Structure 1
Amino acid sequence: MKIKIITALTIVFLAGCTRLDQTFYDRVTPETFFKSEKDIKAALYRPFTHARWYLGADRWKLQEYTADHFAITTKGRHWYNGGENERYHYHSWTPDDNWIWETWRGTLMGVALALDAKSDLSKLDYSKFALTQADKDDHVNQLNTLIALFYLYGLDYFGGLPIFESLEGSSLPRNTDQETFNHIETLLKEAILKLPKKQAADKEEGALRAAAAAALLARLYFNAEAYVGTPKFTEAQKLCEDIIAGVYGTYLLDPVWNGVHGFKNHESKEIIWSIPSEFNKLQYDWFYADFYHYNTRQYFDVDGGANNGGHLQPSRKPTGELYKASFRLGSPYEKFNDADLRKHPYKYNGGGRYEGMFIIGPHLTPGGAVINGGEEYKDKPLVFVDQVGRFTEVGPGKKYATVAVLPSRMADGEENTGVRLVKVPIPNKSDNSLRWGADNPAIRLSEIYFMLAECKMRAADPGGAATLINEVRKRNFTGTDPDPATVANLDEYRMLDEWGIEFLGEGRRRTDLIRFKKFTTETWWDHQPTEAYRSRFPVPTRAISGNNNLKQNTGYGK
């Protein structure tokens, strides 16, 4: 079998499945091409670099900007973007929208890259490289787990996908939802048996171990009702119980709230799988440009600006009144208790130490100097508000007489609109070597606690569920938790709030709303219920135009 040399530039998925532009070299085989262990690792790592990209950017946007926590409002002359941001917020996206195309393409590209590496490594005699059969099994099953991960995300976004196990086919049709589900399940069950279990002394450096495969299988079962119409919470519960019990390796909840997000989070015993990040290498930084104001560089005391796009959806009306009386979802900032350590404004304290994870209120430099705006608040102090409205257009002789009549819609943002999330810490210039030193915690033990809690809640054990939630919550307070989960308050909305508080901005909100059947049925800020078929995205026009065998999802036309 000849080796396929695949790069991001030569992979072409216009056919929506496995059609690739491939370069072949005569008389080159895996056995002769791989010269050392370094070559093996290079082949193994390539699909992981794709996963680094895949777990952010457009996949994150489809999860968060379509749900009740984040928005990209139009801010004066900025960010209308041809109505794209509004289409996602209002659930009126089309098969031509680019985030959807990039996600379809990126999903199947990830499968292909992992399959290609698996094909080549499977043919090698590892003993020739001073490696063992156990090393080979580990590498192959890491790739199997990665394939399952891409298919799992694809199933979540689109439903059934073309299933391929080699790179020889082209123009494949979509398999059914159930067939895709079964394929993921088979891959993960095999990987769980063959991947090594984490030992207490093992470092977290991006390798997929047995617990990661078990966690992904738990996710599959946890959301099975949305995927294939059959609840599998009992199966998810058993996996979560085993992970917590250490059946798949040694993991512990981090004792501090930012241990899983900070500069040394590779040392956290809570992380089950992370994507490593290192300054000027494979950086976990895609969000920086979109989340922060042009002048926030002065707040962080760093070089390099941002484009002032996304922010939290507002918790308050222009009048200052809380929205909680109007709808149960959304209002993410005010869902945090005032005593929660995370609710503090973000402040870098030097030496890798920091506090808080929000930008709100007056924007000041670390030295206390006022930071001015450049648009509506040009030469005026920037004050970030948990509201959306054109406040500069209120007053005598202006468009709006009072804030009482000020509309709050996607079209009504200003440059200071919305609370900004700083979940990944930003050091100042004096500690610039730490920048992007925080890894992306893709799977962490607190997710397993929350999955188990929800399973127990659904199984009529709210006391057991509350205990698990509170075990995670307690690290967020200096004293006693003032608002713990209890049997009395733990309903589906409180459970969704707990997911939202703990995992704010971690690219999962849409999936959680769908599991509770609230993604298309509920109201949140500037959003009304939409058609049930919007729980899945359409197959992109560009994919179908290259592959007539692909069928469109229900509701999106032919």
Structure 2
Amino acid sequence: MKKINFIYLLFAFATLQSCTGDLDVVAEDSKILSPEQLFSTPLGYKQALGGVYGNLSLTGTGDAGSSFLQGIDAGTSQFGRCMWYLQDLTTDEVVWTYENDEGTAELQRNTWTSANPILLGMFSRTMAEVALANDFLRQSTPELLTSRGITSTTDVAEINIYRNEVRVLRAFAYYNMMDLFGKAPFITENDPLNFKGPQYDRQQLFTFIETELNAVIPNLKAARTNEYGRLDKAMAQMILAKMYLNAQVYIGTPKYAECMAKCSDVIGGGYILKSNYLDNFKADNHTSSEMIFTLQSDGVKTQNYGATTVMINGQVGSVEGNGAEFGVGGWGGALRLRKQFVQKFDGAEFVTDVRKTYSSNSGSRPIDIATLTNAGQGYILHKFSNKTVAGVAGVNSGFVDTDFPLFRLADAYLMYAEAQMRKDGATNTNNATTANAQSLTYINALRQRANSGSASANVTQMQVNLDFIIDERARELHWEGHRRQDLIRFNKYGGGNYNWAWKGNIPNGTSFSSNLNVFPLPTASITANPNLTQNTGY
């Protein structure tokens, strides 16, 4: 059943926000229950679990414009949207037309400061996830379950499964803090409410996340056995695989063999490549056998300005007016592609590649974007849709039904190949062709899928070096929230090794300092917690 948790989300937000003191929150609903009322039954615990998951998709208990975080606009604090802005809008993949939208101009021009509201939104929303997780763990101890009369062996075992999932969600939150900000205030369920956590650096966060995930993975449900919307072993393994692939960046120590092992666990878990690539990005993508974990979206039950609503409405061209193609009204050309991404599909080998969905409106759109606010410049994308595989549009033309593919199997294939190549001697500064037979099998499985089953675009070992891998990641995973992280790992973000249109606020691109490889901590967050210090260069 799709989006099973959404029946509980608004209710859970209204209750949890009143008993979570790690962040300033505001009650938006008069129907607030005390913790004793909410947690008096096993059903209440599932409702509370829905709230922890729901924070990744929703912003508040009211309509799409509501936010339970004080002083932060819903549009700049929705987890998926903020994550997508930081990971993709700051790179060579995409531009945003409406630079009057607060924070967006600075992100896409790489001129952000600690006052950027989207950075505050991401920091606050992610730490809200930590707060919600901590509160759930405080309220679900064996002692409290017993005191509340919840003693059935079945009920206690189910709540313990919830606890393990919540620990993964908290680890995922800290993973994002480690990746984006390089540090975070560290708070667990053992700390009192309103506790101003000490600052943890990347090494400390890495150690905590790794330890936590390895502790809970044996007790999570096996891959593909949990109800849709809830995580399983594979989701936790994907976080670890991501950490290990980026360990050289995070902690200065390569962990490529560990990455390969986790990718193998994920690949062996039962997830299967969807035969049609584009079916992964449609309104019924919850049925895809490739999805490991998604940020859920529903045009009726969970209206919000999240990542897929932004992307699908933003895809609609200002000239084309092609909202009907995607089952939405559209936002008048909000999103366009940077030249360097489009060029990743240059060459005869990509003529039949279904991942090549961009268009130039029969050549009327210039590939170059001379003015960022000119919606008629730059190609547009057709990857995501608010229509089902059968072509049925979502019931709401403004808010989409399409879930955001946070982790999917294809990424595990490409991570395995990259980790294996790096383990066997490939580096960012050489052209080593070290892909082994297994890596080539994974790469070519994606290539064949992209070419409707044909092996015509398959590659050989001599064609695969790390430059190929990062370009293939762009072709396979564009607009899925991976690009900034990938560019940093390949030393193509900060510094002058690779420039793209409007990088560093120059039309043809220019280098920027490598200190921008992490974002600044928001000024308001440092003010609220004197234990936090600003990142170098800000």
Maintained 8 Å contact 1:272/1:444: yes
**Residue equivalent to 2:214:** 189
**Residue equivalent to 1:287:** 311
Kindly name which structure, 1 or 2, has the bigger radius of gyration based on alpha carbons.
1
SS of the equivalent of 2:309 reads coil
**Residue equivalent to 2:4:** none
Distance 2:46 2:212 in 1: 21
Maintained 8 Å contact 1:11/1:20: no
| 1:95-494 pair list within 5 angstroms | 95-122=114-141, 123-125=144-146, 127-128=150-151, 131-166=154-189, 167-198=192-223, 202=225, 205-246=228-269, 250-282=270-302, 284-293=308-317, 296=321, 299-300=324-325, 304-315=329-340, 331-332=343-344, 334=346, 337-343=350-356, 357-362=357-362, 385-389=365-369, 408=370, 411=371, 414-427=374-387, 431-433=393-395, 436-460=400-424, 461-464=434-437, 465-478=439-452, 480-494=454-468
Mark the CA change 1:9 to 1:306 in structure 2 (over 3 Å): closer, same or farther. farther
Residue-pair matches, total: 470
Mark the CA change 1:101 to 1:21 in structure 2 (over 3 Å): closer, same or farther. closer
Mark the CA change 1:9 to 1:422 in structure 2 (over 3 Å): closer, same or farther. farther
Distance 1:388 1:22 in 2: 45
Maintained 8 Å contact 1:69/1:332: no
Distance 2:489 2:18 in 1: 34
How far residue 281 of structure 1 moved from its aligned partner, in angstroms, is 1.5
**Residue equivalent to 1:392:** none
| Paired residue type of 1:331 | Q
Unaligned runs of 5+ in 1: 74-78, 316-328, 344-356, 363-382, 390-407
How far residue 338 of structure 1 moved from its aligned partner, in angstroms, is 1.6
SS of the equivalent of 2:406 reads strand
**Residue equivalent to 1:542:** 524
How far residue 193 of structure 1 moved from its aligned partner, in angstroms, is 1.3
How far residue 468 of structure 1 moved from its aligned partner, in angstroms, is 1.4
**Residue equivalent to 1:374:** none
Structure 1 or 2: more helix by fraction: 2
Q: CA RMSD in A?
A: 3.2
SS of the equivalent of 2:263 reads helix
Corresponding residue to 1:507 among 449, 471, 481: 481
Maintained 8 Å contact 2:182/2:202: yes
**Residue equivalent to 1:402:** none
Distance 2:396 2:104 in 1: 33
Distance 1:427 1:267 in 2: 13
**Residue equivalent to 1:376:** none
| Paired residue type of 2:436 | G
Distance 2:513 2:525 in 1: 23
Distance 1:501 1:543 in 2: 36
How far residue 485 of structure 1 moved from its aligned partner, in angstroms, is 3.0
**Residue equivalent to 1:396:** none
How far residue 422 of structure 1 moved from its aligned partner, in angstroms, is 3.1
Corresponding residue to 2:85 among 61, 70, 84: 61
TM-score normalised over the length of structure 2 = 0.79
SS of the equivalent of 1:93 reads coil
Instruction: Please give the per-residue CA displacement for 1:420-465, whole angstroms capped at 9, x wherever unaligned.
Output: 2233223399744487333322211111111101011113341332
SS of the equivalent of 1:255 reads coil
Distance 2:271 2:364 in 1: 38
| 1:6-85 pair list within 5 angstroms | 18-20=22-24, 30=35, 33-53=38-58, 54-73=78-97, 79-81=98-100, 85=104
Mark the CA change 1:545 to 1:55 in structure 2 (over 3 Å): closer, same or farther. closer
SS of the equivalent of 2:278 reads coil
Mark the CA change 1:59 to 1:90 in structure 2 (over 3 Å): closer, same or farther. same
| Paired residue type of 2:90 | T
| Paired residue type of 1:245 | G
Distance 1:266 1:298 in 2: 22
Maintained 8 Å contact 2:312/2:326: no
How far residue 506 of structure 1 moved from its aligned partner, in angstroms, is 0.4
SS of the equivalent of 2:407 reads strand
Unaligned runs of 5+ in 2: 1-11, 28-32, 59-77, 425-433, 502-507
Mark the CA change 1:169 to 1:271 in structure 2 (over 3 Å): closer, same or farther. same
